[in-house]
Amino acid sequence: MSIPVTVVGIGKIARDQHLPAIAGNPDFHLAAAVSRHGTVEGVPNFTDFDRFLAEGPAGPVALCTPPSVRLEMALKTIAAGRDLLIEKPPAATLGEIETISAAARDAGVVLFATWHSRFAPAVAPARAWIAERKVERVTITWKEDVRRWHPGQAWIWQPGGFGVFDPGINALSILTEILPGAIHVGAATLEVPQNCATPIAAQLAMTARGTVPVAAAFDWRHEGVQTWDIEVEASGQRLTLGMGGAQMAIDGTPVDLPAEAEYPEIYRHFARLVAARESDADFAPLRLCADAFLVGRQVAVAPFTE
């Protein structure tokens, strides 16, 4: 029998990714939707989260709301004894996700803080390739057009909205997966539009494994070819992850990979976690974002308009 799951926050990411992934997974079926603005045909729809918890169907909850409002919902979900999947980034602050994680552990509830880019097909092979070599340098280039990928999402420019770190954290989630161990942010430049509270571009200088330089450039103003690349120089060779981990090459030679299926893989992993009563909640990418904001030098740039 499949597991009933309720999606909370029926926005672009829920419609584009979560709902199709649930529909294609025999371990789950969509039981309900909770949203102030969106609805899903064929299931009960709720506009009030408390009413859903009291009257709605049982089963896990997938939180797809903006991170700034997740803490209260997550804690109420856990208090109701429901397993919880959280869209990335898992919370607005490290303190919030630590509180959520502790509550889930104490309640015996499964918590899955998802990082969808870690399920890109090149990530596991890249981690295995790196594990056998001495890493010399890592370069991240993450440049896209915010108007194309996040239209009308004003929350990303408000405090707690992450700005360009909303996609940039995807790169950091891959980095922390393929290069395990301590990574420190030494310096950062955050370019903040004059009418916004969060950056539209950022440059990070980090260090991994004590001596390995890691440079990252995030930019949301890029109107040309959209770029989501990570390049790793190791033992005299060069590994390149392209298209956010959908592609991989060694010294320019492409590596055959399975088809991209990030969100289907997320729900397959969630089914395994629920069956084993285990949690998966790693905060390393969020920590790097927080460190960048702490040490970053802010530079005012032109106002942003849709």
What are the pLDDT digits (tens) for 28-51?
999 999 999 899 999 999 999 999
- Give CA–CA dist 136/212, Å, rounded: 6
Name the token pair of 262: 């990030």
Is residue 157 within 8 Å of 304, Cβ to Cβ?
A: yes
Residue 306 has pLDDT above 90, yes or no: no
Residue of 12, 76, 88, 134 marked catalytic: 88
Please compute the mean of the pLDDT values over residues 255-284 and round it to a whole number: 97
Catalytic-residue membership of 88: yes
Q: Tell me how far apart the alpha carbons of residues 268 and 22 are, in angstroms, rounded to a whole number.
A: 9
Express each pLDDT in 155-165 by its tens digit.
899 998 999 99
- Give the C-alpha separation, 142 to 242, whole Å: 10
pLDDT by residue (tens digit) across 3-14?
999 999 999 999
Using the predicted structure, report yes or no on whether residue 105 has a pLDDT greater than 90: yes
pTM (predicted TM-score): 0.95
Asked if the domains 3-113 and 117-258+289-301 are classified in one and the same CATH topology, the answer is no
Q: Kindly provide the b/e burial profile for residues 177-209, where b requires at least 16 CB atoms within 10 angstroms of the residue's own CB.
A: bbbeeebebeebbbbbbeebebbbbbbbbbebe
Q: Strands 183-193 and 201-208: what pairing?
A: antiparallel
Q: 3-113 belongs to which CATH class?
A: alpha beta
pLDDT tens, residue by residue, 220-245: 999 989 999 999 999 999 999 999 99
CATH domain 117-258+289-301 topology:
Dihydrodipicolinate Reductase; domain 2 (3.30.360)
pLDDT at 165: 97
Write down the H helix ranges in the chain: 12-13, 19-23, 49-55, 70-79, 94-107, 123-131, 146-149, 165-178, 262-276, 284-295
Instruction: Parse the chain into domains and list their residue ranges.
Output: 3-113, 117-258+289-301
